[in-house]
Amino acid sequence: MWAMTTGPDVGEATAEAIALLMSPPVSTREQVLNQSVLAHRVLGSPAFPLAEDQLRDRAARSFDRCYYPDGVARQLHACLTTPDRTDALGRLDLPTLVIHGVADPLISVTGGRATAAAIRGAELLEIDGMGHDLPAQVWPTVVDRIVALIERADQARGTV
Protein backbone atom coordinates (compact mmCIF):
# COMPACT_ATOMS: atom_id res chain seq x y z
CA MET A 1 0.00 0.00 0.00
CA TRP A 2 1.29 3.45 -0.83
CA ALA A 3 0.16 5.85 1.84
CA MET A 4 2.40 8.56 3.14
CA THR A 5 1.70 11.66 5.07
CA THR A 6 2.15 14.77 3.03
CA GLY A 7 2.45 16.99 6.04
CA PRO A 8 4.62 20.07 6.05
CA ASP A 9 8.30 19.64 6.74
CA VAL A 10 8.39 15.86 6.34
CA GLY A 11 9.66 13.82 3.45
CA GLU A 12 11.44 16.67 1.72
CA ALA A 13 13.24 15.92 -1.52
CA THR A 14 16.78 17.03 -2.22
CA ALA A 15 17.42 19.76 -4.78
CA GLU A 16 19.00 17.17 -7.09
CA ALA A 17 15.91 14.91 -6.90
CA ILE A 18 13.58 17.84 -7.60
CA ALA A 19 15.72 18.91 -10.57
CA LEU A 20 15.50 15.38 -11.97
CA LEU A 21 11.71 15.33 -11.67
CA MET A 22 11.42 18.74 -13.30
CA SER A 23 13.72 17.92 -16.20
CA PRO A 24 12.15 17.97 -19.67
CA PRO A 25 10.50 14.72 -20.71
CA VAL A 26 12.37 12.41 -23.02
CA SER A 27 10.87 10.45 -25.88
CA THR A 28 13.28 8.19 -27.72
CA ARG A 29 14.37 4.79 -26.47
CA GLU A 30 17.99 5.91 -26.12
CA GLN A 31 16.96 9.04 -24.22
CA VAL A 32 14.83 6.94 -21.87
CA LEU A 33 17.75 4.58 -21.21
CA ASN A 34 20.06 7.51 -20.49
CA GLN A 35 17.46 9.16 -18.26
CA SER A 36 16.96 5.92 -16.37
CA VAL A 37 20.66 5.65 -15.60
CA LEU A 38 20.70 9.25 -14.41
CA ALA A 39 17.55 8.72 -12.32
CA HIS A 40 19.06 5.72 -10.61
CA ARG A 41 22.26 7.61 -9.88
CA VAL A 42 20.20 10.39 -8.25
CA LEU A 43 17.42 8.37 -6.58
CA GLY A 44 18.90 4.90 -6.15
CA SER A 45 20.60 3.34 -3.17
CA PRO A 46 24.15 4.57 -2.66
CA ALA A 47 25.05 1.48 -0.63
CA PHE A 48 23.67 -0.87 -3.29
CA PRO A 49 24.68 0.53 -6.68
CA LEU A 50 23.83 -1.18 -9.93
CA ALA A 51 26.15 -1.31 -12.91
CA GLU A 52 25.17 0.90 -15.83
CA ASP A 53 24.60 -2.10 -18.11
CA GLN A 54 22.09 -3.52 -15.59
CA LEU A 55 20.28 -0.19 -15.39
CA ARG A 56 20.16 0.17 -19.16
CA ASP A 57 18.93 -3.39 -19.60
CA ARG A 58 16.14 -2.86 -17.05
CA ALA A 59 15.15 0.43 -18.70
CA ALA A 60 15.18 -1.16 -22.16
CA ARG A 61 12.89 -3.99 -21.07
CA SER A 62 10.54 -1.51 -19.41
CA PHE A 63 10.51 0.76 -22.47
CA ASP A 64 9.89 -2.15 -24.82
CA ARG A 65 7.08 -3.51 -22.64
CA CYS A 66 5.15 -0.23 -22.44
CA TYR A 67 6.50 3.28 -22.65
CA TYR A 68 3.91 5.75 -21.36
CA PRO A 69 5.51 9.10 -20.55
CA ASP A 70 2.22 10.70 -19.50
CA GLY A 71 2.20 8.37 -16.50
CA VAL A 72 5.24 10.07 -14.98
CA ALA A 73 3.66 13.50 -15.28
CA ARG A 74 0.39 12.22 -13.81
CA GLN A 75 2.15 10.64 -10.85
CA LEU A 76 4.10 13.83 -10.18
CA HIS A 77 0.91 15.89 -10.39
CA ALA A 78 -0.85 13.51 -7.98
CA CYS A 79 2.03 13.72 -5.51
CA LEU A 80 2.13 17.51 -5.62
CA THR A 81 -1.63 18.01 -5.24
CA THR A 82 -2.56 15.36 -2.70
CA PRO A 83 -3.63 16.83 0.63
CA ASP A 84 -2.08 15.76 3.92
CA ARG A 85 -3.18 12.20 4.76
CA THR A 86 -1.97 12.13 8.37
CA ASP A 87 -5.46 12.16 9.90
CA ALA A 88 -6.70 9.44 7.53
CA LEU A 89 -3.68 7.28 8.32
CA GLY A 90 -4.49 7.66 12.01
CA ARG A 91 -7.86 5.98 11.42
CA LEU A 92 -6.26 2.81 10.08
CA ASP A 93 -6.46 -0.23 12.30
CA LEU A 94 -4.45 -2.94 10.61
CA PRO A 95 -0.98 -4.45 10.85
CA THR A 96 1.38 -2.09 9.09
CA LEU A 97 5.05 -2.16 8.18
CA VAL A 98 6.50 1.06 6.82
CA ILE A 99 9.72 0.45 4.86
CA HIS A 100 11.90 3.44 4.10
CA GLY A 101 15.42 4.01 2.86
CA VAL A 102 17.51 6.23 5.10
CA ALA A 103 19.27 7.57 2.00
CA ASP A 104 16.08 8.30 0.02
CA PRO A 105 16.63 11.66 -1.71
CA LEU A 106 13.09 11.87 -3.12
CA ILE A 107 11.16 11.38 0.12
CA SER A 108 13.46 11.86 3.07
CA VAL A 109 13.28 9.35 5.88
CA THR A 110 11.27 11.88 7.89
CA GLY A 111 8.36 10.98 5.60
CA GLY A 112 8.58 7.31 6.52
CA ARG A 113 8.89 8.17 10.19
CA ALA A 114 5.84 10.44 10.04
CA THR A 115 3.86 7.76 8.26
CA ALA A 116 4.75 5.12 10.85
CA ALA A 117 3.94 7.54 13.67
CA ALA A 118 0.55 8.33 12.13
CA ILE A 119 -0.60 4.70 11.95
CA ARG A 120 -1.47 3.16 15.29
CA GLY A 121 0.93 0.32 16.07
CA ALA A 122 2.86 0.59 12.81
CA GLU A 123 6.36 -0.80 12.63
CA LEU A 124 9.10 1.14 10.89
CA LEU A 125 11.94 -0.54 9.03
CA GLU A 126 14.61 1.98 8.11
CA ILE A 127 17.24 0.57 5.77
CA ASP A 128 20.63 2.25 5.84
CA GLY A 129 22.07 3.05 2.44
CA MET A 130 18.76 2.49 0.62
CA GLY A 131 17.41 5.25 -1.60
CA HIS A 132 14.13 5.48 -3.49
CA ASP A 133 14.29 1.93 -4.79
CA LEU A 134 14.26 -1.59 -3.41
CA PRO A 135 17.62 -3.20 -4.16
CA ALA A 136 17.84 -6.98 -4.32
CA GLN A 137 20.35 -7.01 -1.47
CA VAL A 138 17.63 -5.92 1.00
CA TRP A 139 14.92 -8.31 -0.22
CA PRO A 140 15.68 -10.98 2.41
CA THR A 141 15.31 -8.44 5.21
CA VAL A 142 12.12 -7.01 3.75
CA VAL A 143 10.61 -10.46 3.16
CA ASP A 144 11.48 -11.57 6.71
CA ARG A 145 9.81 -8.48 8.18
CA ILE A 146 6.70 -8.91 6.01
CA VAL A 147 6.41 -12.57 6.98
CA ALA A 148 6.79 -11.67 10.68
CA LEU A 149 4.09 -9.02 10.32
CA ILE A 150 1.72 -11.52 8.70
CA GLU A 151 2.43 -14.10 11.37
CA ARG A 152 1.71 -11.60 14.17
CA ALA A 153 -1.50 -10.53 12.43
CA ASP A 154 -2.62 -14.15 12.05
CA GLN A 155 -1.86 -14.84 15.72
CA ALA A 156 -3.77 -11.75 16.81
CA ARG A 157 -6.79 -12.93 14.79
CA GLY A 158 -6.42 -16.47 16.08
CA THR A 159 -6.04 -17.93 12.59
CA VAL A 160 -2.79 -19.75 13.30
Asked whether residue 121 is domain-assigned, the answer is: yes
Asked whether residue 2 is domain-assigned, the answer is: no
**Helix, strand, or coil (residue 127):** strand
Arithmetic mean of pLDDT over the chain = 91
Asked whether residue 53 is domain-assigned, the answer is: yes
Asked whether residue 5 is domain-assigned, the answer is: no
Residue 97 has pLDDT above 90, yes or no: yes
Residue 10 has pLDDT above 90, yes or no: no
pTM of the model: 0.87
Asked whether residue 101 is domain-assigned, the answer is: yes
Q: Is 4 exposed, middle or buried (0-12, 13-18, 19+ CB in 10 A)?
A: buried
Asked whether residue 1 is domain-assigned, the answer is: no
Model pLDDT for residues 55-77, shown as the tens digit of each residue: 999 999 999 999 888 888 888 88
d(CA 62, CA 115): 30
Contact 132, 107 (CB under 8 A): yes
Domain with 148, as residue range(s), is 10-160
Number of domains in the chain: 1
Instruction: Give me the sign of the Cα torsion angle 138, 141, 144, 149.
Output: negative
Residue 87 has pLDDT above 60, yes or no: yes
Asked whether residue 41 is domain-assigned, the answer is: yes
Domain of residue 126, CATH code: 3.40.50.1820
Asked whether residue 127 is domain-assigned, the answer is: yes
**pLDDT the model gives residue 2:** 45
